[in-house]
């Protein structure tokens, strides 16, 4: 599985935008970029995913670099409820979608 | 609420015992995944089923087995339990179980082996 690199932690203030980066320099042409998050004491939660184009949904936006070697998850207005561990995961090939979780980025949101 | 249900929420048992964890996927989802989350290993993929057939296997011990039934619910069986099997076990489901489909996770079963 191609590897991703994320910062260990980030901080934000409530109601401000948050940009969570992810590097995946060994991504292959068929790998999808997925983002999940895990709030304290809960199961992982799907956030967004994409292949080549930028994607938007009600939770977040995903900006994918033109060479696909990096991506950024954008939370437009952080709330206290967005404090979680965010995982950037690549899926593709014969993985059948299995998720390989790394350490993720711990996001702290200050009121 | 993801639509994925898991039972039981908590399970406390002794070493050497056997337990069964149950998962019901979201309505319409054909694929089920099982993951284990422990403090030292993080979140790890165990096994995937698609429409009743095993599709992919991860770091699943031989003492563990799973199956997906015709009604698409799945069970994870853990036997000869050891202290190190204490963990959170999550089930996730997706529509077609491919790399381009997202997964929806259940609330998990917390297993404590004493």
pLDDT digits (tens, 9 = 90+) for B85-100: 999 999 999 998 888 8
A contact test, residue of B32, B35, B40, B43 with most A CBs within 10 A: B43
Average pLDDT over residues A61-73: 97
- Asked whether the predicted pLDDT for residue B71 surpasses 90, the reply is yes
Average pLDDT over residues B46-71: 95
Model confidence over A7-64: pLDDT tens digits?
999 999 999 999 999 999 999 988 999 999 999 889 999 999 999 999 999 999 999 9
pLDDT at A41: 87
| A97·B42 Cβ contact <8 A | no
pLDDT at B97: 85
CA B94 vs CA A31, B14, B37, B55, B89: distances in Å? 17, 33, 19, 13, 17
With CA atoms as reference, the chain B residue closest to A89 would be: B99
With CA atoms as reference, the chain B residue closest to A91 would be: B99
Stretch 49-108 of chain B: residues touching chain A, C-beta under 8 Å: 50, 55-56, 58, 90, 92, 94, 97-108
Which of A77, A74, A85 lies closest to A108, judged by CA? Answer: A85
pLDDT at B58: 93
CA distance B14 to chain A (A): 24
Residue A95 C-beta-side C-alpha neighbours within 13 Å: 19
Give percent of chain B above pLDDT 70: 100
Average pLDDT over residues A71-98: 92
Which of B46, B40, B24, B13 lies closest to B107, judged by CA? Answer: B24
| A31·B99 Cβ contact <8 A | yes
- Asked whether the predicted pLDDT for residue B29 surpasses 80, the reply is yes
Lowest-pLDDT range, A78-87, B38-47, B79-88? B38-47
Model confidence over A83-94: pLDDT tens digits?
999 999 999 877
Output DSSP code: residue A41: T
Q: Structure tokens of A108?
A: 């702290």
- Asked whether the predicted pLDDT for residue A2 surpasses 80, the reply is no
């Amino acid at each position: 599985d191609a590897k991703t690199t994320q910062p260990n932690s980030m901080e934000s203030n409530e109601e401000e935008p948050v940009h969570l980066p992810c590097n995946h320099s060994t991504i292959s042409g068929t790998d999808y970029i997925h983002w999940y998050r895990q709030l304290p004491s809960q199961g992982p939660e799907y956030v967004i995913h994409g292949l080549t184009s930028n994607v938007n949904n009600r939770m977040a936006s995903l900006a994918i670099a033109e060479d696909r070697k990096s991506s950024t998850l954008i939370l437009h207005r952080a709330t206290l409820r967005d404090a979680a561990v965010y995982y950037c995961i690549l899926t593709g090939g014969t993985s059948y979608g299995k998720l390989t979780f790394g350490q993720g980025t711990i996001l702290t949101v200050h009121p | 609420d993801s639509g994925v249900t898991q039972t039981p929420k908590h399970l406390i048992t002794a070493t050497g015992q056997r337990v069964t964890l149950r998962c019901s996927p979201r309505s319409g989802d054909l694929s089920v995944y099982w993951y284990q989350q422990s403090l030292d290993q993080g979140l790890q993929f165990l096994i995937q089923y698609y429409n009743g057939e095993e599709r992919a296997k991860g770091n699943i011990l031989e003492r563990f087995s799973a199956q997906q039934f015709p009604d698409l619910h799945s069970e994870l069986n853990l036997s000869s339990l050891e202290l190190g099997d204490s963990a959170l076990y999550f089930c996730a489901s997706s529509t077609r179980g491919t790399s381009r489909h997202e997964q929806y996770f259940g609330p998990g079963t917390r297993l404590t082996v004493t």
